Amino acid sequence: MLSEATRQSLNRRATLQSRVSGEEWQARVTLAACYRLCVPYGMTDLIYNHISLRIPGTDNQFLINAFGFLYEEVTASNLVKIDLDGNALDEDPLDINPTGFVIHSALHRARPDAACIFHTHTKAGSAVSSQKHGLLPISQHALRFHNRVGYHAFDGLALNHSEQERLARSLGPHNALILANHGLLTCGKSVRDAFELMYYLETACRIQIDALAGGTELIYPPEEVRERTAQQFENFNPFVADRDWHALLRKLDRSDDSYKS
């Protein structure tokens, strides 16, 4: 016998699927998968943080999580569709976190190439964001971001719309941003690209915290090696393509495919 919550979820899915395009529904499924994948990798913060995805074929509409859901509860049908001005576009809209709107609408507007924007408050990411020297070039994972990460000074909770222009300037042309005393942010032309960058930025931060805790002198590769490594990653990405993302989806489907509902 179906629970009331399950019945409501199925009804919402059926209603929504009849109203949206196939492209939008697939975007919803992909974004919901990303939320679920954050759980086993420890990239969650209760009901906070947000990942957004521009709806295919639109310039000013994107999907974001409803406020009050754990990442493990996010599904294709309970994501919220809004525009860059904050207008709810779903027939039965759920609430969103206002800080999520401020951050994500600003960057979707400033960076049309950034289809997906991913923000976290992880322990390691927040710790590195509080270190004056920023991300150190001490690991292969960190070198992926050499000269390719922006920094944004802390100015309280992201509730003020006046911060939007400053956020866009801080990100600039980069696809990764460290928000001082706050957390991490990545963006990409796809959900896969934003997730991959966040996974490796988070890993680089964890390595840095552990390395600094060792209390011994660190090894810094020469500048030419740092830049060459960053370029190698850029050139290697086309070869990787979506292989890692498909592997992650297979893993997710083996454990719980309810994100598709």
Task: Reply yes or no on whether the pLDDT at 18 is more than 70.
Answer: no
Query: In whole angstroms, what separates CA 211 from the centre of its chain?
Result: 25
Q: Evaluate whether 177 touches 125 at the Cβ level (below 8 Å).
A: no
Query: In whole angstroms, what separates CA 129 from the centre of its chain?
Result: 16
pLDDT value at residue 159: 61
Dump pLDDT digits (tens) for 20-32: 888 999 999 999 9
Lowest-confidence region among 29-33, 99-103, 159-163:
159-163
Alpha-helix residue ranges (DSSP H) falling in the chain: 4-19, 22-38, 98-110, 123-129, 140-143, 163-171, 191-213, 223-240, 243-255
* Single-letter residue type at 216: T
The ranges assigned to domains in the chain are 20-260
pTM of the predicted structure, to 2 decimals: 0.90
Mean pLDDT of 42-70: 94
20-260: CATH topology: L-fuculose-1-phosphate Aldolase (3.40.225)
